Amino acid sequence: MSSKFDDYYYYKYSITPFFSYDYDYDYDIIENKILSHTSFGMIQLSLSLLFIVLQSFILFVIYRKKLYYNNMPYRIIMHQGQLALFQLFGHFVTSISVILDLDGGTLFASIIGSLIRSCYISCVLFIFILTLNRLVIMYNISYFACARKTFYTFLIALCYLITIFAFGFFLLPYFRLKYHEDLFLWYSTDYNDTISLIWIIQSKSIVTILCISFAMHIVILVKIIVLRCITSKSIITLKELNFLIYAVLNFASCAFYELCIRGLYIRIHYIKYSSAILQLIYIFVSGSNTMYTVCFVRDVRQSILPMLLKKKHIKVTKVKVVEIK
């Protein structure tokens, strides 16, 4: 495939946020559907419901144990989880519409598509904020020490404003999203050079934010290695590596999806079920941060897993014996 051909397909197919769509092809002539609506809808429904239940339980634990009180990392995780829950709810509604074979070009479908995309963007931003918070703590940066809480509160509020702006933006006539009932993909209602450029800038911005977050995690790992080297224990433990694994998986999941809907899709355009597979990957990315948080963030895992396993904590009262002379 020549470079000129690659560029043509890159700009032609990468304008949609979720998948590539050929505006010159009549998809109504498709006779053999890649999957039945019921089959794919049930798969999508099961995956979405699983993540919704897990994310809801995590938020319930955070609220119940008040982990977000005077703990900025938990507060950031809480807000990220709330937006992820809305995003997963959008996938859940989409799966129901697929099962019922509803029209994906209605205003309601566009609202769901806008909700999914805007929350996805904000979740990526929260990954950056959470990483920044950890970097500041690890290196004891005192630049924002006088108003650190105010600084992070501002960033959190900014993320919500971006979510609202993106939600309204994706409902504009030229940028409105539709869902193709037979190919199981989201696509823009219109196509021109300006819209193509906006989608490309948006996708590259997301990848850039993810790369910066990943770089900050590498810097944090360097700090951990240095601290271990200057102490008697120079071996890095698995507990410390879990932190890096969490960062790598978060970055890799979102980055892989962004590559799939951009350049990588050129290579897999003719693979059977490719649109359905990438739609399922998107659902997994929407809920993957929840799994990574539980598996690799020690503080969260120690608070959540006992409740998941219904482990009862026995309260022990210590009695001090006082000798009376």
Q: Quick: pLDDT tens for 230-248.
A: 775 556 566 656 656 766 7
CA atoms within 13 A on the CB side of 279: 28
Choice among 4-8, 47-51, 111-115, 140-144 with the minimum mean pLDDT: 4-8
Q: What is the mean pLDDT of residues 174-202?
A: 79
Q: How far apart are CA 120 and CA 195, in angstroms?
A: 19
Q: Is residue 222 part of a domain?
A: yes
Q: Tokens at residue 270, please?
A: 């003719």
Write out the two tokens for 284: 């997994």
Find which of 24-38, 75-89, 188-202 is predicted with most confidence, using mean pLDDT. 75-89
Give the pLDDT of residue 31: 43
Summarize the confidence of residues 179-183 as an average pLDDT: 80
Helix axes 72-99, 107-138, angle to 10 degrees: 160
pLDDT score of 2: 39
Q: Which residue has the higher pLDDT, 20 or 137?
A: 137
From 168, 132, 179, select the one nearest 151 (Cα to Cα). 132
Q: List the CATH number of the domain containing 64.
A: 1.20.1070.10
Evaluate whether residue 298 is within a structural domain. Answer: yes
What is the reported pLDDT for 144? Answer: 56
Whether residue 133 contacts residue 72, with contact meaning beta carbons closer than 8 Å, is answered with yes
What digits encode the pLDDT tens for the residues 77-110? 889 889 999 999 999 999 999 999 888 888 999 9
* Residues 283, 47 contacting (CB under 8 angstroms): yes
Tally the domains of the chain. Answer: 1
> pTM for the complete prediction?
0.79
Do the domain assignments include residue 325? no
**Domain presence at residue 29:** no
Report the distance separating Cα 255 and Cα 234, nearest Å.
33
Answer whether residue 9 shows pLDDT above 90.
Answer: no
Mean pLDDT of the 188-201 span: 76
**Residue range(s) defining the domain that contains residue 248:** 3-19+36-308
Percent of the chain with pLDDT over 70: 69
Q: Which residues pair with 27 in a beta bridge?
A: none
Indicate whether 315 pLDDT > 70: no
Residue-wise burial string across 18-38, b where 16 or more C-beta atoms lie within 10 A, e elsewhere: bbbbeeeeeeeeeeeebbebe
Q: pLDDT band for position 27 (50/70/90)?
A: very low
For the chain, the farthest-separated pair of C-alpha atoms sits apart, in whole angstroms, at 98
Q: Is residue 320 part of a domain?
A: no
Taking residues 301-322, report their average pLDDT.
56
Strand 177-180 and strand 185-188: pairing?
A: antiparallel
**φ and ψ at 186, to 5 degrees?**
-95, 145
Q: How far is CA 166 from CA 161, 163, 184, 303, in A?
A: 9, 5, 22, 34
Band of pLDDT at residue 11, cut at 50, 70 and 90? very low
Give 245-302 pLDDT, tens digit per residue. Answer: 766 777 778 878 877 776 555 555 555 567 778 888 889 888 887 777 677 766 666 7
Distance of CA 118 to the CA centre of its chain: 11
DSSP-derived secondary structure letter, 26? -
- Residue 232 located in a structural domain: yes
| Residue bearing tokens 């450029």 | 197
Structure tokens at 45: 């429904």
Answer yes or no: is 202 within a domain.
yes
The answer, yes or no, to whether residue 164 has pLDDT greater than 90, is: yes
pLDDT of residue 13: 36
Tell me the average pLDDT across 111-119. Answer: 93
In a domain, 118, yes or no: yes
pLDDT value of residue 160 = 96
Round the average pLDDT of the chain to a whole number and report it: 75
Q: Does residue 3 have a pLDDT over 60?
A: no
The whole-number pLDDT of residue 316 equals 45
- Confidence band, pLDDT 50/70/90 cuts, at residue 176: confident
